[in-house]
Amino acid sequence: MIDADPDANISDLINKQTNFRDTIAGVITELGRKLERKEIPPYLSEKSLVEEEVFRHIITFNNFDLIIQGRSEGEGCYCSINNILKHLIKILAENYKITIIDSPAGLEFFARKTSIDVDDLILVTDPSKMSFHTLQRILEVKDEVSLDFKNIWVLGNRFNGKNKNLFIESFEKNLGNHMKLLGFLSYDGEIQKFNLSGKSLLELPSNNVVYQQANKIFSQIV
Ligand SMILES: Nc1ncnc2c1ncn2[C@@H]1O[C@H](COP(=O)(O)OP(=O)(O)OP(=O)(O)O)[C@@H](O)[C@H]1O
Ligand SMILES: [Mg+2]
């Protein structure tokens, strides 16, 4: 699992404290310092050094591993971190059965072409007119930068029975030719409570309604 949101929040959801030095940004910063202090022999390639260090800092769980992108300290752009991420995703995809990338909301991520060779793009949307506009704009950006996905899915989150039908109607009319509807998750008070009280979502009971909905929904593509 790659948390590719510079405003990383997966650690919050699973209540896991993470250090800056365990993120890709942290690894790069530390390597930069070592290079400055001439603690690294100049004949070693930067690319393989970063790769080695990132894999050394992978956060492991029972049945998945987590890599956090993190945010570079101070000013500067994400270009270098982005190139590294692109390279790492390729290696991960070759070594893991499934690679999941959680990207930041909006279009920046697509325009930067981080997500090459993605099988399933899942756009999580809430019941609002704004999210329809976002879905439409994502299609435009995808074509502008010639990105290709095997499947583009839309997953409705925080939906209830009534707004589900309204959404489906509008979806079929406007987006049905370009995207497929993956399913809907309901709003759930228990999830909100877990999040507010800082409890890990990994401890959500298996009889939780949204957990069961998600299980069924994702079994379509996993
Ligand atoms: N189905 C749901 N029922 C109740 N609460 C939910 C549900 N889905 C998400 N939430 C809550 O909404 C908040 C935001 O969720 P999440 O971080 O998944 O959104 P996001 O779209 O990824 O946001 P961001 O754009 O900031 O990354 C969290 O507090 C989460 O617990
Ligand atoms: Mg998010």
- Beta-carbon contacts of 100 under 8 Å, excluding residues fewer than 6 positions away, are 1, 2
Query: Mind giving me the DSSP string for 14-29?
Result: TT----GGGSHHHHHH
What does pLDDT average to over the chain?
A: 86
Distance of alpha carbon 24 from alpha carbon 147, whole angstroms: 25
Q: What φ, ψ does residue 37 adopt, rounded to 5°?
A: -80, 5
The model's pTM is: 0.89
Identify the pLDDT of residue 107: 64
pLDDT tens, residue by residue, 169-199:
999 998 999 999 999 999 999 999 999 999 9
For the chain, residues with pLDDT lower than 70 are: 8, 73-80, 106-116
Most informative mutation of 12, 14, 163, 191 for ligand 1 (most atoms within 8 A of CB): 191
194 CA closest ligand 1 atom index: 31
- Whose CA is closest to 23, among 52, 49, 58? 58
Ligand 1, pocket residues at CB < 6 Å: 5, 9, 105, 124, 157-158, 185, 187-188, 191-192, 195, 210
- Beta-carbon contacts of 109 under 8 Å, excluding residues fewer than 6 positions away, are 4, 103, 115
Identify the pLDDT of residue 59: 92
Domain ranges of the chain: 1-86, 105-187, 190-222
